[in-house]
Chains A and B, each alone.
Chain A
Amino acid sequence: MMNLQDGLARIAGPGTEPTREQVVADLARGQKALRRRRTMQAAAGSAFTVAAVAAAFAFAAGSPAATTTPEAKAPITSTATSGAKAPVFELKAYKGKQPDAFTVAQVPAGYEVQGVTDSSLTVGPEGMADKDPNSFVGKVAVMLQSVDEHGKMPGTPEKVKVGDQEGLFVKRPGTEGDGITLFIEQPSGMNLEIQVWDGVGWTRDQIVAFAEGVKVNANAKPGRG
């Protein structure tokens, strides 16, 4: 009679050594992902730089029209304190087409709502080549938490105030260097989930400010997995 370990060993298979082609392909995938990550970080930095320069010119010219747009409802501006190269984060009213599943009130200057599905949307730097709604590299992704997680936090949560609601920042174990997730419980009981890729460079306060303008519509569908 076979025992459990033998049965599992049979399912696992013999463990064939990788071919040279597989090793080369693994390395190539890693190199490509690293390049993509660095490119996204650079792109995010460039977007912030453009916004910073524009804000600096507007301030120098003393033009109220340039610093306050009529469509921007109480723009939230914050500047990191790490020095002269600190990026400027300014939320502007989002005037583009709203996705069905979610409503986005504001996006930072230099960003746009890009890929949209019935279960998620992505916000990325304007002009970003990758508009695949299922690719979150270098972007901010908005969705409902996967039903397979049953509303449980996938890591150690840290409470934060999001408007009148309570939010939870979670760094998923094993994803160091990738990003952080903000969960906000909805009246439906589901959790709104906002994933922010680290390379985007938003601070937690900025993520919260963006999240305050995100509304989950009735037809939003949670993902699986």
Chain B
Amino acid sequence: MKNERDEQFHQFVVSRRAALVRTATLLTAGDAHLAEDLVQSTLTKLYVAWPAFQRADNPDGYVRRTLVNALTDERRRWWRRSERPMAEVPDRAAAEHVNGDVSDGLRVALKELPPKMRAALVFRYFYDLDVADTADALGCSEGTVKSQTARALDRLRAVLGTNPSLATL
């Protein structure tokens, strides 16, 4: 029999898991296995801390922080190493590849960024979070977000060349 926590968590997973996987996939630069791992760890942590999550002023921010923490410090995921991984990562459609387009180089460039710098880029330029919300997600200052995103864009330009979409950022 499910209790209230179980019911709420179930609804949360049904409604939010797909988006979490997308975010995690970006945060891991397209690594589907690690993304699934991060999502599992994040959801487990949310379930354990469900009352705190429910009381959070900014639930979306709470989820982002949890996800970023899972990414940036494996040892912070206290129980993850003792978890039994799923035998196989569930099937899901692979991200579309278009030969020669910016996503190929972008994936490589993202992978070379440090995790928090990558996360700053994703939150600022994919999710359009403002600097304050990005800083909250990363657990750092707004100044750090600005410098991290600037450096991330510099690195992308170095890898991708003079792509017009980066020139306007």
Chain A interface residues (CB < 8 Å from chain B):
1-19, 21-23, 25-27, 29-31, 33-34, 36-37, 130, 132, 134-137, 141, 143, 146, 148-149, 154-155, 172-179, 195, 197, 223-225
Interface string of B11-51 (1 = CB under 8 A from A): 00110011101110110011010000000100111111100
Least distance between B149 CB and chain A CB atoms (Å):
12
Q: Is the CB of A174 within 8 A of B125?
A: no
Give the CA-CA distance A173 to B66 in the complex, in Å: 8
Q: Is the CB of A18 within 8 A of B19?
A: no
* B-side interface size class: 35 or more
> In the complex, which residue of chain A has the Cβ closest to the Cβ of B71?
A225
Least distance between A26 CB and chain B CB atoms (Å):
5
Least distance between A172 CB and chain B CB atoms (Å):
6
B residues 77-132 near A (Cβ < 8 Å) are 78-79, 81-83, 86, 90, 92-98, 101-103, 106-107, 110, 114-115, 122, 125-126
> In the complex, which residue of chain B has the Cβ closest to the Cβ of A18?
B17
Least distance between A132 CB and chain B CB atoms (Å):
5
Q: Is the CB of A173 within 8 A of B69?
A: yes
Least distance between B48 CB and chain A CB atoms (Å):
5
- CB of B60 within 8 Å of the partner chain: no
Least distance between A171 CB and chain B CB atoms (Å):
11
Note all chain B residues with C-beta closer than 8 A to A179: 78
- CB of B154 within 8 Å of the partner chain: no
- CB of B143 within 8 Å of the partner chain: no
Give the CA-CA distance A147 to B68 in the complex, in Å: 17
Contact of A29 (CB < 8 Å), options: B26, B78, B83: B83
Note all chain B residues with C-beta closer than 8 A to A14: 92-93, 95
- A30-B47 CB under 8 A given contacts A4-B169, A5-B126: yes
Q: Is the CB of B26 within 8 A of A11?
A: yes
Give the CA-CA distance A172 to B75 in the complex, in Å: 12
Note all chain B residues with C-beta closer than 8 A to A175: 69, 76
Note all chain B residues with C-beta closer than 8 A to A177: 48-49, 52
In order of increasing CB-CB distance, the 6 nearest A-B pairs are: A30-B47, A3-B165, A135-B82, A174-B65, A173-B139, A134-B81
Name 17 A/B residue pairs within 8 A (Cβ), A-sorted. Answer: A2-B102, A6-B102, A10-B103, A11-B26, A12-B95, A13-B22, A16-B21, A18-B17, A22-B17, A23-B13, A27-B6, A33-B44, A33-B48, A172-B73, A172-B139, A174-B65, A197-B78
Q: Is the CB of A26 within 8 A of B17?
A: yes
> In the complex, which residue of chain A has the Cβ closest to the Cβ of B7?
A27
Q: Is the CB of A174 within 8 A of B66?
A: yes
Q: Is the CB of A8 within 8 A of B48?
A: no
Contact of B78 (CB < 8 Å), options: A1, A25, A137: A137
Q: Is the CB of B102 within 8 A of A4?
A: yes
Q: Is the CB of A7 within 8 A of B102?
A: yes
- CB of B163 within 8 Å of the partner chain: yes
Q: Is the CB of B86 within 8 A of A4?
A: no
> In the complex, which residue of chain B has the Cβ closest to the Cβ of A139?
B78
Note all chain A residues with C-beta closer than 8 A to B47: 26-27, 29-31, 33-34
- A11-B17 CB under 8 A given contacts A33-B79, A225-B74: no
Q: Is the CB of A5 within 8 A of B95?
A: no
- A sample of 6 more A-B contacts (CB under 8 A), given A26-B9, A174-B66, A223-B75, is A2-B101, A4-B102, A12-B22, A12-B23, A26-B47, A174-B69
Note all chain A residues with C-beta closer than 8 A to B156: 4
Note all chain A residues with C-beta closer than 8 A to B21: 13, 15-16
Note all chain A residues with C-beta closer than 8 A to B52: 176-177
- CB of B10 within 8 Å of the partner chain: yes
Contact of A8 (CB < 8 Å), options: B19, B32, B46, B122: B122
